[in-house]
Structure 1
Amino acid sequence: MKRRPLLLGLAALPLLASGCATLQQPDAPLVGTGDLGLVVERATGSVLLVNTTHRSILARVDGLGDLSHASLVFSRDGRHAYVFGRDGALTRIDLLTRRITAREQQAGNSIGGAISADGTLVAAQNYTPGGVKVFDADTLALRADIPALTADGQRSRVVGLVDLPGRRFIYSLFDADAICIADCTDPARPRVTRIDGIGHQPYDALVTPNGRHYIAGLFGEDGLALVDTWAEQPVARRILAGYGRGQQPLPVFKMPHLRGWAVAGRHAYLPAIGRHEVLVVDTTTWEEVGRIPVAGQPVFVMARPDGRQVWVNFAVPDYHRVQVIDTVAQRVAATLQPGKAVMHMEFTPRGESVWISCRDDDKVVVLDTASLATQASLPARAPSGIFFTARAQRMGF
C-alpha cells in the first residue's frame, strides 16, 4: 500500500541530491538579481556590479570599450545586462557569473537601445550608420537591420528608442524630423510605420509607463511631439509649444535626458531646455499646469518610485548640485551638494535610497531619500550611468 509513495520519493532523490550539491558549492553562492545593479565607469571602459541592499561593490567587469555615452537594459529575469557603448559595441554581461558572455561590434557610433517586452530581441539605436539593428537576446545574432533615412536618402541619426507592448520599438530620427514604429513580430520582415513632420530635430524621447504615449523633445524648436501609440493610425501632435528657448534664449550646456522623466500622480515633470525650470504637465490633457524654478539647467528629472519626490541634477556650471522637489507643495524642498559633476541618479526599487554618481570625485554616494542622510560612499572610476535590475520590469527602461 505504501510502495507507490516510496517509489516516487526514491525517484526524486537524484534531483534533490543534485540540487543540494549545487547549493553547497562554496565558490558559487546563490544570489538573487533583484538587488543588483551596474555602475558605468566611463573613463576606463568598465562597470561595477553593486548590491543595493548591502550598498556594496561585488565586482568590476572590464573590456567594454568606449562608455562615454553608455546605457544598458536588462533581460526579463534580471540576470543579463546588455550594454550599448558609444563605439557601437553591444555587450552582454552575466550578473551571476560576473563576466562578459557575448559581444558584437554592431556599429560605429551608438547611443543606446531597448529590449522587447517578451525579452527575446535587443535593439540598438545608431548614429553611424544611422539606423536600428535588432539582435537575438540569447545569441546576439543579427535579426534585422532597419535603416533610418532622410527625405533625400541620407542616413539619419536615431534617438529616443524605447520598447512598446509586443515585439515593437518606437524611435525618432534626429536628421529627418520623423518618428518610426517598428513591428518586429517577424524580425526577418519588420513593418515600419513612419510619421513625418513631427517638428525639428528630435533629440530624445520617452514612453509613458503604460506604453501609450511617446513624447519626443525637439531641439530645433520650442515644444515636444506626442504620439498616441494606441491610435489605429498614429499621428504626431505638438504639445507645450513655446515653453523654452523661444521665450528667453539661453546657451544650452548639456541636452536634458527625457528617458529619466518623472511621473507622479497625474503630473509629469520635464526638464525645460535652456531654462532653469522644471515643467509640470497634466498627463490627461498634456498641457502645462506649472513651472518650478530650480538651481540651473536640469538634465535628469526623476521621480522617487512612490511619486512623493522628484530629484533633479544639472548641467554645468551647476552640476555639483542636486535638488529635491516636494510634489505636494510643488516646490524645491532641499538643495544638496553630494559631489563634483553629478552625472546620474538611480532609486532603489522602492525608493528608500538614491544612488548618485559623482564623476569628478570618483565616487558614488547613497542617500536616504527621507532624511537625506548619507548612507554610503563607494569608490568608482569616473562613474556616470547607474542602472538597477528593477528596470527589467519597467516599460521604456
Structure 2
Amino acid sequence: MALSLSTGFADPRADYLEHCADCHLENRLGANGPALIPETLKRMRGPKIEEVIRDGRVATQMPSYREELTDQAISELAAYLKTPLETVPPWGEEEIMASRVLDEDYVAADAPIWSSDPMNITLVVETGDHHVSVLDGDTFEVLDRFATPFAVHGGPKFSPDGRYVFIMSRDGWVQKYDIWSLKQVGRVRAGLNSRNIAMSGDGNWLAVANYLPNSLTILSTKDLSVAEVHEVVGKNGKPSRVSAVYQAPPRESFVLALKDVPEIWEVSYSKHPDLGIFAGGLAHDWRIEGPIAQDTPFPIRKITTPDFLDDFFFDQTYEYVMGASRAGTGGLVIDLVIGQKVADLDLPGMPHLGSGITWKRGDSTVMATPHLQDGTVSVIDMNSWETVKKITTEGPGFFMRSHENSPYVWADVFFGPNKDAMHIIDKQTLEIVKTLRPVPGATVAHVEFTKDGRYALVSVWEDDGEVLVYDAKTLEIVKRLPMRKPSGKYNVWNKITFSEGTSH
C-alpha cells in the first residue's frame, strides 16, 4: 500500500498504479481489464466496487487484494475509480485515421508462400505473450508466429476468401494480417476501449464495437480507413456502450447488442440503402421503426427490446436472434423482420450464447449453450424454443464446439475447481459419454476442429501451456504443441463457411 509522505494516509492514485495499471492502463481506459471510470462502473453502486477489489471477481482474471490493501486503502481506491477522468480524449474519424499505420515493407504475394492447404490453416491466439501462431492444419507445423496488439479480445475475423485476418485488442487496436504472405498489413486504433469486431458478408467492411467512446466504428477492410463512425445514442437520447457487434450475412447487416439502453441496432451495409429494404431479399421497411438517416451508406434500424441484452445467438436464417437477459435469469427471442419479441427462453445461470452451437438432432435443429454461473449446458429446440434438456456438468463453462463430421460436442468447465475437465457429449442422446482430464489442475478450454473434423485442438490455458491435438474419433492425444497461454483457436474453413458446431 502506498502512503502519502505528507499525511501518512493511503494514496489511491499510487495504489492504482501499483496494483491496477497493468490490466487497466495508467489512464484507466482499460486494456486486459475494463475501463475503470464512472461510465463503466456506474451500475456498481455503494460498496460493490470495494467488494470486487477486496474479494476479486468470480469467472474473471480479477484477483483479490485482501492481503495487499487495508480496508481504508480499498475504500479510497474505490472512491478514486468513481471520479471522472480529467479529460476523455476524443476518438472520432480524425483521431482514428491519425493512428493508422500501414507497413511500408508489406508486399502482397500472388499466392501463398507456403504449400499447406490454405483452407485448413488454424490460428492460435497466445495471450501469454500477445502473439498468434499460424498452424498448418494437416501437419500442425507452425508457419509463422507474429506479435499482436496487447490483450486480444473477441475472435479474429477472416476475409471471405480466407486470405486476410483481422484481430482486435481491448484497447481498440485493429490489426490486419496477410496469411498468404505471413506479413502484417497494418494497424489502426478504432476505439479506446473495444469489445469485438464483425466482418461484413461481402468482406468489404469491418465493424468495431466500442465501450469508449460510445460508438460503432466501420472500417474499410481494404486499407483500414474509416468509412463511418456512428455515435451510439438510444431512442430516448441516452448514450450507450456497445456490448458486441455481429454479422448477419443474409440480411446484409450488422447487429449490435447495446449495454445501456434496451435496444438492438441493425446497421445495413447493403449497396442500396435508399430502397428502404434489405437487398438480401428479406423485405422490411426500415422506416417502420422511426426516422432512419438516409444520407449514409450505413443506415440504422433501432429495435426496442423488453430487457437489456448483452449476448446474442442467431438462428440459421438470421431472422431470429436469441438474447440473454442481463440478470442472468432467462432469455428471449426477437424476430428481426417484425422487430418484436416472439418467445421467452428458459435460460437461468447467465448463458454464454456467444459460444453456443447448433446441430441436427432427429428432425429438428437444436442449439446448446454453456452457462457462466451454473454447471449446466442447456439444449434448446430451434423450432419450438423449448428447452429439450439441461445437461449437468462439473461446473460453469465458457466454450462449446463441434463439427458436422463429429458425433460429439466438446464442452469445457472453465470456472471452479473442475477447470481441468472437458466433457464429451453425444449429440443424439445428449449424455456425457466421457470426461477428459489431460492436465490435472490446469485450465483446459476452447476446442477447434480441423477442416475435415478429424482432429480437435484443445487449449491448456496456462502461461506455460500447450495446444493438445486429439483424434476426434478415438479421443486420444496425438500431438502436443507448447504455447504461451493459448486461448482461442480459429480454423479458416470452419469460420468462413459457418461450419456446424462453430460459433459465428
Residue 498 of structure 2: aligned partner: 394
Amino acid at match of 1:342: V
If asked which structure has higher relative contact order (CA below 8 Å, sep 6+), I would say 1
Amino acid at match of 1:69: H
- The alpha-carbon deviation at position 307 of structure 1 amounts to 5.9
Gaps of 5+ in 1: 1-21, 246-254
Contact 1:281/1:290 (<8 A) preserved: yes
Contact 1:343/1:358 (<8 A) preserved: yes
Q: 1:62-114: CA deviations, max 9, x gaps?
A: 1x222252421100110100101111011111011111102111111122111
**Equivalent residues in 2 for 1:133-282, closer than 5 Å:** 133-150=217-234, 151-185=236-270, 188-200=296-308, 202-229=309-336, 231=337, 233-241=338-346, 243-245=347-349, 257-265=352-360, 266-282=365-381
SS at match of 2:475: coil
Residue 394 of structure 2: aligned partner: 295
Contact 1:118/1:166 (<8 A) preserved: no
Contact 2:377/2:391 (<8 A) preserved: yes
The answer to whether residue 393 in structure 2 is matched with residue 331 in structure 1 is no
Residue 451 of structure 2: aligned partner: 349
SS at match of 2:264: strand
Change (3 A) 1:371 1:297: same
- The alpha-carbon deviation at position 29 of structure 1 amounts to 4.1
Q: 1:186-230: CA deviations, max 9, x gaps?
A: 594322111123313x2221222332322222232422232233x
Distance in 1 (alpha carbons) for counterparts of 2:447 and 2:404: 13
SS at match of 2:398: strand
Q: 1:219-278: CA deviations, max 9, x gaps?
A: 32422232233x2x322344224x414xxxxxxxxx754232121212111223422111
Distance in 1 (alpha carbons) for counterparts of 2:423 and 2:153: 23
Contact 1:133/1:145 (<8 A) preserved: yes
Contact 1:51/1:58 (<8 A) preserved: yes
Contact 1:359/1:384 (<8 A) preserved: yes
What is the TM-score normalised by the length of structure 1? 0.84
Q: 1:317-375: CA deviations, max 9, x gaps?
A: 22211101112221100101233222421112232211111121421111111110002
Distance in 2 (alpha carbons) for counterparts of 1:148 and 1:238: 27
Please list every run of at least 4 consecutive aligned residues from structure 1 whose deviation after the TM superposition is greater than 3 angstroms. 27-32, 186-189
SS at match of 2:399: strand
Change (3 A) 1:365 1:280: same
- The alpha-carbon deviation at position 179 of structure 1 amounts to 1.1
Give the structure with the larger helix fraction. 2
Residue 31 of structure 2: aligned partner: none
- The alpha-carbon deviation at position 160 of structure 1 amounts to 4.8
Distance in 1 (alpha carbons) for counterparts of 2:437 and 2:403: 19
Distance in 1 (alpha carbons) for counterparts of 2:340 and 2:480: 47
Amino acid at match of 2:310: Y
- The alpha-carbon deviation at position 37 of structure 1 amounts to 1.6
Residue 127 of structure 2: aligned partner: 42
Q: 1:5-46: CA deviations, max 9, x gaps?
A: xxxxxxxxxxxxxxxxx89xxx94444411112111113221
**Equivalent residues in 2 for 1:103-114, closer than 5 Å:** 103-114=187-198
- The alpha-carbon deviation at position 394 of structure 1 amounts to 1.8
Residue 479 of structure 2: aligned partner: 376
Distance in 2 (alpha carbons) for counterparts of 1:176 and 1:385: 30
Residue 138 of structure 2: aligned partner: 53
Distance in 2 (alpha carbons) for counterparts of 1:292 and 1:140: 44
Contact 1:223/1:238 (<8 A) preserved: no
Residue 34 of structure 2: aligned partner: none
Contact 1:40/1:67 (<8 A) preserved: no
What is the TM-score normalised by the length of structure 2? 0.67
Change (3 A) 1:371 1:149: same
Residue 130 of structure 1: aligned partner: 214
Distance in 1 (alpha carbons) for counterparts of 2:195 and 2:373: 22
Residue 311 of structure 1: aligned partner: 410
Amino acid at match of 2:403: R
Q: 1:297-334: CA deviations, max 9, x gaps?
A: 12112233246211101232222111011122211001
Q: Aligned pairs, how many?
A: 359
SS at match of 1:34: helix
SS at match of 1:165: helix
Contact 1:117/1:166 (<8 A) preserved: no
- Aligned-residue Cα RMSD (Å) equals 2.3
SS at match of 2:302: strand
Distance in 2 (alpha carbons) for counterparts of 1:377 and 1:224: 39
SS at match of 2:354: helix
Distance in 2 (alpha carbons) for counterparts of 1:316 and 1:272: 10
SS at match of 1:71: coil
Contact 1:324/1:334 (<8 A) preserved: yes
